């Protein structure tokens, strides 16, 4: 799955402000797609999975939400982090923000960019 995420992240990179955000978006989409198939994946499902993977981001079933923007204190470095969910799975952005307003603005922007990618023609 890491190769699948890396390939999709390269496709998404122009739409996001940082490559790490493209990787986060790709991870959400690939994991959501993979969860639609049995574990381990049946041989007869592989062609359908690969075809859906090639279409990503279009048609992604990932519906990300912001769970919380929370303070994160590491010794003297107080900053804010954003955690998203897709279904029961949580994804924490690696980005740090100096205020809750910056973190909330980032979360709104990230979700808008991701939804644009999923819904593009």
Residue range 73-108, pLDDT digits in tens: 766 778 999 999 999 999 999 999 999 999 999 999
List the Cα angle 5/104/92 in 5-degree steps: 35
Tens-place pLDDT, residues 49-61: 999 999 999 999 9
pLDDT at 19: 96
pTM above 0.85, yes or no: yes
pLDDT, tens digit (0-9, with 9 covering 90-100), for 6-30 = 999 999 999 998 999 999 999 999 9
Q: What is the pLDDT of residue 72?
A: 78
Distance between start and end Cα atoms, the chain? 25
């Amino acid at each position: 799955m890491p190769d699948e995420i890396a390939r999709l992240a390269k496709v998404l990179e122009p739409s996001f402000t940082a490559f790490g955000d493209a990787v986060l978006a790709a991870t959400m989409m690939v994991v959501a797609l993979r969860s639609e198939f049995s574990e381990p994946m049946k041989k007869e499902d592989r062609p359908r999975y690969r075809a859906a993977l090639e279409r990503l981001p279009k048609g992604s079933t990932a519906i990300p939400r912001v769970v919380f923007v929370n303070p994160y204190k590491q010794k003297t470095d107080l900053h804010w982090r954003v955690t998203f969910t897709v279904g029961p799975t949580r994804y924490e952005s690696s980005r740090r923000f100096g205020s809750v307003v910056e973190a909330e603005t980032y979360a709104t922007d990230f979700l808008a960019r991701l939804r644009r990618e999923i819904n593009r023609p």
